[in-house]
Amino acid sequence: MAVVSLSEEAAKRFGFRRVCANCGTAFYDKDRWPVDCPKCGATYQVHAMLKGGARSIPARRDSAS
């Protein structure tokens, strides 16, 4: 008999836990696509994760003489 943690079992049943960027409501996506917030109806936007984290680009300096 394999031991399965509660979080693994919940992930199988409910999908990923999300937090709405619009209203802040926490909810599970239930493995549906697109992911819509059940409270305000906003669509969850997925952003690709870059290897090495986000890199900032320095601001361009204008030369004033």
More confident residue, 1 or 11: 11
At 14-57, the pLDDT tens digits run 888 889 989 999 999 888 888 899 999 998 776 665 565 555 55
pLDDT on residue 25: 93
Asked if 7 contacts 17 with a C-beta cutoff of 8 angstroms, the reply is no
The model's confidence at residue 59, banded by pLDDT at 50, 70 and 90, is low
Is the whole-model pTM more than 0.75?
no
How confident is the model over 57-65, as a mean pLDDT?
A: 58
